[in-house]
Structure 1
Amino acid sequence: MEPTIVIVPGLRDHVAEHWQTLLEATLSNAISVEPLEQDKLSCAARVAALDATLARVDGPVILIAHSAGVMIAVHWAQKHRREIHGALLATPPDLETPLPHGHTPIDVLAQNGWLPIPRNALPFPSIVAASRNDPLASFDRVSEMAANWGSRLIDLGDVGHLNPAAGFGEWPMAKELIRSLR
């Protein structure tokens, strides 16, 4: 049975030009966690939304998470048990270090349950795709996260935060990485 691809967007939810949105449109077996109407900054609400999405899926699942979506997936894995075939975790932010202006401050993230970043090994195979010049996390910090989670680290080079602001709409490598998780 072909795994269902479950897309876990970050805090900015669905952006039309984002590689996750474009990827979902090209895959017949992909669904996405729906945007929240309330409690948009609540980690617990985001984790519950992911869990509700997963509850609707029969059979194997591959998670595709970006940015804060990575943290949602990692927090979910600490609290829930369901077979996950694998996960592609792209450019996780370092929420324990002050983020650039315009992003949520650390104290607000802490109040909403995002901190500390889980450091336990994930109970499923995973790939962390890291950028060398991500404004939301240093490569060294993302490398530490990958090691803690037991993830294979992929060095993407200088791709910023791998989002439209960094020049990324389509990201063809995502399909290659997904194939490697099957």
Structure 2
Amino acid sequence: MTRFLLVPGRGVPLANHWSRQWARCGFVWAPPPPGPPYVAADRVAALQAVVAASSESAVLVAHSAGCLTVAFWAEQHTGPVAGALLVTSPAPDDIPRRPLPFPAIMVVSRNDPHCGFDDGVRLAGDWGARVVDAGPVGHLDSTSGFGPWPDGEKLVATLAGGAVPPG
């Protein structure tokens, strides 16, 4: 069995955000969206608690600052992670830049207000993630028109090694 864990960004996603829709279909928050401020150590500890709670393989689905949480977690911990979908990560200077120890796909936007396209591609390369050019999709959130995101569901399925995501 594969677990599908949503790693939230800095804020609480709006009700129609694709991640909230996926949570209603059986994806599990790791941790639940706490809202600002973003404290990396707290988020990493909360993610570790969820990952370590089971020996079942997990696919991490991270949005925005949640991608940073995944990178910090991977630098400090190991666990049964089969892969990660990293969606529109910011690219600050003070984050881990080593390859992740599991397969990853990084979705990069052409017009993300939080990360330039070239910076996102460079970060994906640092993490060893395959880049998906999503085109001009903003931050791939509710504000930029993403409630449902069927292309994201397909990307999760490729990381799940044949396991079918809930929904």
TM over 0.5: yes
In the TM superposition, residue 54 of structure 1 has moved relative to its aligned partner by 1.2
| Preserved CA contact (<8 Å) 2:11 2:34 | no
- Aligned to 1:85, what secondary structure does the other structure show? strand
Structure with the larger strand share: 2
User: Residue in 2 aligned with 1:180?
Assistant: 158
d(CA) in 2 for partners of 1:40, 1:4: 27
| Preserved CA contact (<8 Å) 2:109 2:138 | yes
| Amino acid of the structure 1 residue aligned with 2:54 | V
Out of 49, 52, 56, the residue aligned to residue 55 of structure 1 is 52
1:86 equivalenced with 2:87 (yes/no): no
Q: When the two structures are aligned, how many residues end up with a matched partner?
A: 159
Alpha-carbon distance change, 66 to 57 in structure 1, aligned in 2, over 3 angstroms: same
- Aligned to 2:59, what secondary structure does the other structure show? strand
In the TM superposition, residue 17 of structure 1 has moved relative to its aligned partner by 1.5
The two structures have a TM-score, normalised by structure 2, of 0.90
1:26-37 maps to which residues of 2 (within 5 A)?
A: 26-27=25-26, 30-32=27-29, 33-36=31-34
Largest Rg, 1 or 2: 1
Stretches of structure 2 that go unaligned for 5 or more consecutive residues are: 162-167
Stretches of structure 1 that go unaligned for 5 or more consecutive residues are: 97-115
In the TM superposition, residue 14 of structure 1 has moved relative to its aligned partner by 4.0
- Superposed structure 1 runs of 4+ greater than 4 Å apart: none
In the TM superposition, residue 179 of structure 1 has moved relative to its aligned partner by 1.0
The percentage of aligned residue pairs carrying the same residue is 40
d(CA) in 2 for partners of 1:134, 1:31: 26
d(CA) in 2 for partners of 1:12, 1:78: 23
